Amino acid sequence: MPDNTQAVMDSVSRFLDRQHGLYIDGQWCESSADDRLAVYNPADGQQISSTADANAQDVARAVQSAHKAFTTGAWAQRLPAERERILLRYADLVEQHAEELAQLETLEQGKSINIARAFEVGCTLNWMRYTAGLATKIVGQTLDVSIPMPPGAKYQVYTRKEPIGVVAGIVPWNFPLMIGMWKVMPALAAGCSIVIKPSETTPLTLLRMAELATEAGVPPGVFNVVTGRGTGCGKALTEHPLIAKVSFTGSTPVGKSIARSAADRLTRVTLELGGKNPAIVLKDADPQQVIEGLMMGSFLNQGQVCAASSRIYIEAPIYDRLVAGFEQAVKSLSVGPGMDATAQINPLVSRDHRNKVAAYLDDARSKHAELISGAAGPDAQGFYIPPTLVINPDDKLNLTREEVFGRWSI
């Protein structure tokens, strides 16, 4: 923990106590809608803050602000070296607030404070500094023409890379700070403006990041954040006619819908969607190495990772030995709130998601799958599911075929 522990806690508390609006044009503003969205601490189920539930009118205001900033050249026409300097200053400012951001992330998402510090903040800082440097590395090509020309004539073709315009970024709830900045930083380095919509479950850290961007010198309108539900706010953002590119990370069904909508308008789109990832263990593998690796691969961030090893296939000669090893490992895991740095397993992100994962496990149990579970959570009001192994399940179970985002492995 840092030496300024109380100062950080006070800063986090003040931020949580705000009546959070939207961050548009470099400042906080109210939503035109009256609805609010509660933000909960997954460790105990208590509300810790709230944000605006933006509507289409709010989204249009944010996109217009981003478009104005782009067309006036406030950012896009800055010298690349200036953009680089401002973005490096931004990274330095984020580093100064690293512990505050890590605690906010743990309180709203539920993950271990260790993961929040290392992944959400640590990896994000590395990414910010790397992409800041790309602002001065964006280059085109010059090519000699290869078609016949009149004697004495010489022609060349050149390419020039230019910022595309206003980018819409839709961010999931599992790694909101890190994945959010995966979208923000390349856009800013290229000279684009961006409107980010975090998950309504985990909106706080990206609101804070937008505020810090303004403090670092990013011009108003270049980095905007709208909060709200995907069906309203998210849909309005991805379908706005001034959006030049959509970057979406989330579920496959929603990604398909965004791709269809983008195709109608010929809007560029990048999709990072779900997965159902198998680990295949051969008989000559080292059992201890396999167990250690797959415990990390299966239970990191409570299994709420698109690359989680949610299926494990083991060759028969070592099957029993590995299952026994996994059972011992699962039962030894300590379960607790994310702010407890000694806890190895933490709550799931929300009550709805906890209930969804529990339904998958209940379905498997009702169809005679063998379940081996570890410790339960310390708070009955928290969004806990025990770390669980599902042994030799039927391949037709929903749990074996669908991405669940829960802390179990089969």
Which residue, 49, 195, 198, 181, is CA-closest to 120?
A: 181
272 catalytic residue (yes or no): yes
Residues 183/208, Cβ–Cβ less than 8 Å:
no
Spell out a b/e string for 335-350, using b for 16 or more CB atoms within 10 Å of the CB, else e: bbbbbbeebbbbbbbb
Distance CA 132, CA 186 (A): 8
- Chain centroid to Cα 29, Å, comes to 24
Distance CA 23, CA 27 (A): 6
Q: Which residues contact 55 (CB under 8 A, 6 or more apart)?
A: 31, 32, 33, 228, 232, 233, 236
Dihedral (Cα; 174, 176, 177, 182), 10-degree rounding: 100
Place of tokens 């989204």: 59
Dihedral (Cα; 377, 383, 386, 391), 10-degree rounding: 170
Q: Specify burial of residue 91 (Cβ count, 10 A radius: 0-12, 13-18, 19+).
A: buried
Which entry of 272, 292, 327, 403 is annotated as an active-site residue? 272
Token duo for residue 388? 């669980």
Catalytic residue numbers, as ranges: 272
